[in-house]
Amino acid sequence: MTDVQPKTAEDLFRFLDDLGIAHQTKRHAPVFTVAESVSLRDEIPGGHTKNLFVKDKKDNYFLLTVEEHATVDLKTVHTLIGAASKVSFGKPEKLMEYLGVIPGAVTALGVINDHAQAVTLVLDADLMREEIVNCHPLTNDATTSLASKDLIRFAEAMGHVPLVLKVTA
């Protein structure tokens, strides 16, 4: 493994600009949970995300990005996402190694750091019906808004073809 420093929010914004992807970021106090971020809803329109970093018994990693209030059945989601077994939460060390983020800052935009394409990005179909999707820009003290179609375009530019599936109850 090479010791590559994770990309910063500024690196991310530059990359989005290079792709011609419109984005808007609002800075705020750090938030670690969906509950803590609810106060920002009036200020930031669009679909807000919840992210689950999970793995199966064969160490296949998945990032499930869903609407913030959606429920994911961790006992059955493996059958939908192509996992080899039931899934459990991935360790913070792997989260940093693959996506370059800490717990509380997990984001679909973290695939910018997944050079080995070790993580399968799964975007919930219900969330992707939103015109605008809001994600952390690699840190939990800001929220970046971009078009849902541009989130897919960004992931593809990073070599990730996201699975858009209905994974929520």
- Compute the distance between CA of residue 22 and CA of residue 146 in angstroms, rounded to an integer: 6
pLDDT in tens, 68-103: 989 999 999 999 999 999 999 999 999 999 999 999
**Between 65 and 33, where is the model more confident?**
65
Q: What percent of the chain has pLDDT over 70?
A: 93
What's the mean pLDDT in 162-169?
A: 94
Q: What per-residue confidence (pLDDT) applies to 4?
A: 78
Domain ranges of the chain: 9-27+43-165
Helical axes 148-157 vs 9-18, angle rounded to 10°: 100
pLDDT in tens, 3-32: 679 999 999 999 999 999 999 999 988 877
Task: Please say if the pLDDT value at position 109 is more than 60.
Answer: yes
What is the third-level CATH fold of 9-27+43-165?
YbaK protein (3.90.960)
Q: What per-residue confidence (pLDDT) applies to 30?
A: 85
The torsion angles phi and psi of 46, rounded to 5 degrees, stand at 110, -175
Q: What per-residue confidence (pLDDT) applies to 31?
A: 75
79: alpha, beta or left, given left = phi > 0 and alpha = psi -120 to 50? alpha
> pLDDT confidence of 35, banded at 50, 70, 90?
confident
**Between 38 and 134, where is the model more confident?**
134
The mean predicted confidence, pLDDT, of the chain is 93
Q: What per-residue confidence (pLDDT) applies to 108?
A: 98
Task: Please say if the pLDDT value at position 114 is more than 90.
Answer: yes
Contact between 149 and 108 under an 8 Å Cβ cutoff? The reply is no
Tokens of 79: 């059958």
Task: Please say if the pLDDT value at position 44 is more than 90.
Answer: no
The DSSP bridge partners found for residue 121 are: 63
How buried is 90 (Cβ within 10 angstroms: 0-12 exposed, 13-18 middle, 19+ buried)? buried
